[in-house]
C-alpha cells in the first residue's frame, strides 16, 4: 500500500516550488522598475527644471495608477486568470517603457509621467495577481515568510536598478548643474536635451526584456489556487454578504496606504536628500541601495523567524515602533548620520508589507480577490504622501530663506524637517498591529 502522506508531499513540493520561483521573478521585475524612481526624481528635476514637489510627481504617476487600475485589474483577473493577467501586465509595462523614447526627444515632463503611469498600470495588474497568489499558495500562517522571500527578490532588484540607472542618469549631473547656471539659453537646452537622451537605450532594453518575459509567462506552469472559503455560518448567525462587513480589511487598506507612503519616501527621497545635504550626486546615487539592502537583510530575518519564532502581528508591532524611533532620529540629526537613519527605515519597513497582506486577507474567503484589489489600491499612498513631503520641504525652505538663511542651508534644513510626515504614518501602522487587524473577526 502506498503511503498517502509521502505521495502528497512529493507531489506538493515541486508543484509549490516552481510557482514560487516564477512569482519571485515577477517581484524582481517590478522591484527593478519601481526603485529606479530614486534616480529618476533628481534626473527629472534637472532636465525639466522642477521644484521638489513637482519632481516627486514621478512617484505619484507610478503609484496613482494603483488607484485607477486596481479594481479593473481584479475584474480582468476574474476573466482571464492569474497567468494571462501577469503576462498582460508585463506587456503593458513594456509599452510604458517605450513612451520614454518620444518623451526624451521632446523633453516633455507630462510625457515622461505618462510612460511612468502606464508602467504603473502594468505593475498594478502584476501586483493584484501575484500578492494574493503567493499569500494563498500555502498556509496563511506562513504567508509572511513567503512574501518576505518575494521581498528579498524585489529589493535586490531595486538595489540593482537604483545603481544601474543612477550611474546612467546621474553621471556628471553636478557638473551639468554648475554649467546650467552660467551658459546661454541655447547652450542650456543643448545640455538638457543631451541629458534627456540618456534614458533612450536603457528603456528600449527594458521594453524588450518585458515583452520577452510576457511571452514566457504564458508557458509557465502556474497552478490555479483559490482562497479558503469562509466557514459556513452556524444557525442564528448572519453570512457575510459584502466587503463592507470586514472592518479589519478597511483598516488594513489604510495601514498599507500609510506604509507605501513611508516606504517610497525612504527609498525615493534619499538620493535627493543626500544632494540637498551637500553630498555629490556620484556619492548620493548609492543611498537608495542602503535602504534596499537594509530591507533585504530584514526580509531574510523575517523569512527565518516567521512563523516559527514570532507571529506576523508581532513583526508588525516591532516594525512600527522602530519606524517611530527612526523618524525622531532623522529630524534630530544631520549630515550622513541623518542619511543613515533614513536608510535604516528599510529595516522598519521590510516586514510591514509581508505582515499586513495575510493579516488583512485573513477570513475574507470569496471576497479575497476584491480585498486584494483594495490593498493594491492602497499602494496609492506612494502617490500622495511623498508629494506632501515635497510640499512641506518647499514651504519650509521658502520660510527659511525669507528669514535670511542661505538657500543651501535652507534646503538642507527643510529637507530634514520634511521627515516629520513619517510619524503619523507609523502610529497608524502600530495601531493596526496591536488591535486593528482583529476588528470584526470572530474570536477563536
Grid cell 478597511 in the structure block, residue: 250
Q: Do domains 15-220 and 243-439 have the same CATH topology?
A: yes
Top-confidence residue, 42 or 423:
423
Q: What is the mean pLDDT of residues 45-56?
A: 86
10 Å CB burial of residue 439 (0-12, 13-18, 19+) is middle
Half-sphere exposure in the Cβ direction for 404 (13 Å, CA): 0
Per-residue pLDDT at 332 exceeds 90: yes
With a CB cutoff of 8 Å and minimum separation 6, the contacts of 261 are: 381, 382, 384, 385, 386, 425
Model confidence pLDDT, tens digit, residues 149-170: 887 888 888 888 888 888 888 8
CATH number among 3.30.2130.10, 3.30.420.80, 3.40.50.12280, 1.20.1250.20, domain 15-220: 1.20.1250.20
DSSP secondary structure letters along 228-272: PPPPPPPTTPPPP--GGG-HHHHHHHHHHHHHHHHHHHHHHSHHH
pLDDT value of residue 15: 62
3-state DSSP assignment of residue 343: helix
Q: How far apart are the C-alpha atoms of 160 and 296, rounded to whole Å?
A: 12
Residue pair 117/64 in contact by the 8 Å Cβ criterion: yes
Model confidence pLDDT, tens digit, residues 261-312: 999 899 889 998 999 999 998 888 889 889 888 988 898 888 788 877 888 8
Q: Which range, 20-34, 41-55, 256-270, is most confident? A: 256-270
Per-residue pLDDT at 227 exceeds 60: no
Q: Where are the domains of the chain?
A: 15-220, 243-439
pLDDT value of residue 75: 84
Per-residue pLDDT at 382 exceeds 50: yes
Q: Looking at domain 243-439, what is its CATH homologous superfamily? A: MFS general substrate transporter like domains (1.20.1250.20)
Q: How far apart are the C-alpha atoms of 437 and 298, rounded to whole Å?
A: 22
Amino acid at each position: 500500500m502506498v503511503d498517502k502522506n509521502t505521495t502528497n508531499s512529493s507531489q506538493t513540493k515541486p508543484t509549490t516550488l516552481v510557482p514560487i520561483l516564477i512569482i519571485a521573478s515577477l517581484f524582481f521585475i517590478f522591484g527593478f522598475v519601481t526603485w529606479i524612481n530614486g534616480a529618476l526624481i533628481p534626473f527629472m528635476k534637472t532636465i525639466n527644471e522642477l521644484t521638489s514637489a513637482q519632481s516627486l510627481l514621478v512617484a505619484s504617476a507610478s503609484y496613482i495608477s494603483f488607484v485607477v487600475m486596481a479594481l479593473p485589474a481584479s475584474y480582468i483577473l476574474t476573466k482571464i486568470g492569474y497567468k494571462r493577467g501577469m503576462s498582460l501586465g508585463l506587456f503593458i509595462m513594456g509599452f510604458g517603457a517605450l513612451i520614454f523614447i518620444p518623451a526624451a526627444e521632446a523633453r516633455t515632463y507630462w510625457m515622461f509621467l505618462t510612460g511612468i503611469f502606464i508602467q504603473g498600470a502594468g505593475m498594478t495588474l502584476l501586483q493584484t495577481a501575484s500578492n494574493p497568489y503567493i499569500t494563498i499558495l500555502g498556509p496563511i500562517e506562513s504567508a509572511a515568510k513567503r512574501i518576505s522571500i518575494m521581498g528579498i527578490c524585489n529589493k535586490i532588484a531595486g538595489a540593482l536598478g537604483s545603481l544601474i540607472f543612477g550611474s546612467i542618469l546621474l553621471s556628471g549631473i553636478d557638473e551639468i548643474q554648475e554649467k546650467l547656471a552660467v551658459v546661454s539659453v541655447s547652450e542650456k537646452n543643448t545640455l538638457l536635451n543631451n541629458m534627456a537622451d540618456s534614458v533612450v537605450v536603457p528603456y528600449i532594453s527594458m521594453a524588450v526584456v518585458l515583452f520577452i518575459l510576457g511571452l514566457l509567462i504564458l508557458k509557465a506552469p502556474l497552478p490555479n489556487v483559490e482562497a479558503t472559503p469562509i466557514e459556513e455560518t452556524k444557525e442564528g448567525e448572519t453570512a457575510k454578504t459584502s466587503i463592507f462587513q470586514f472592518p479589519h480589511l478597511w483598516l488594513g487598506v489604510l495601514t498599507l496606504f500609510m506604509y507605501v507612503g513611508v516606504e517610497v519616501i525612504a527609498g525615493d527621497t534619499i538620493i535627493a536628500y543626500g544632494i540637498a545635504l551637500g553630498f555629490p550626486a556620484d556619492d548620493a546615487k548609492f543611498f537608495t541601495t542602503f535602504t534596499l539592502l537594509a530591507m533585504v537583510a530584514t526580509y531574510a530575518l523575517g523569512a527565518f523567524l516567521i512563523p516559527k519564532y514570532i507571529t506576523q502581528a508581532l513583526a508588525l508591532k516591532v516594525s512600527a515602533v522602530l519606524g517611530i524611533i527612526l523618524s525622531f532620529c532623522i529630524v534630530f540629526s544631520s549630515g550622513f548620520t541623518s542619511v543613515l537613519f533614513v536608510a535604516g527605515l528599510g529595516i522598519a519597513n521590510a516586514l510591514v508589507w509581508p505582515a499586513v497582506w495575510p493579516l488583512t486577507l485573513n477570513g475574507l474567503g470569496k471576497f479575497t480577490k476584491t480585498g486584494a484589489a483594495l490593498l493594491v489600491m492602497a499602494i496609492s499612498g506612494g502617490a500622495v504622501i511623498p508629494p506632501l513631503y515635497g510640499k512641506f520641504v518647499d514651504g519650509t525652505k521658502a520660510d527659511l530663506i525669507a528669514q535670511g538663511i542661505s538657500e543651501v542651508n535652507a534646503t538642507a534644513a527643510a529637507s530634514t524637517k520634511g521627515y516629520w510626515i513619517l510619524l503619523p504614518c507609523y502610529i497608524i501602522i502600530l495601531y493596526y498591529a496591536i488591535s486593528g487587524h482583529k476588528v470584526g473577526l470572530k474570536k477563536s
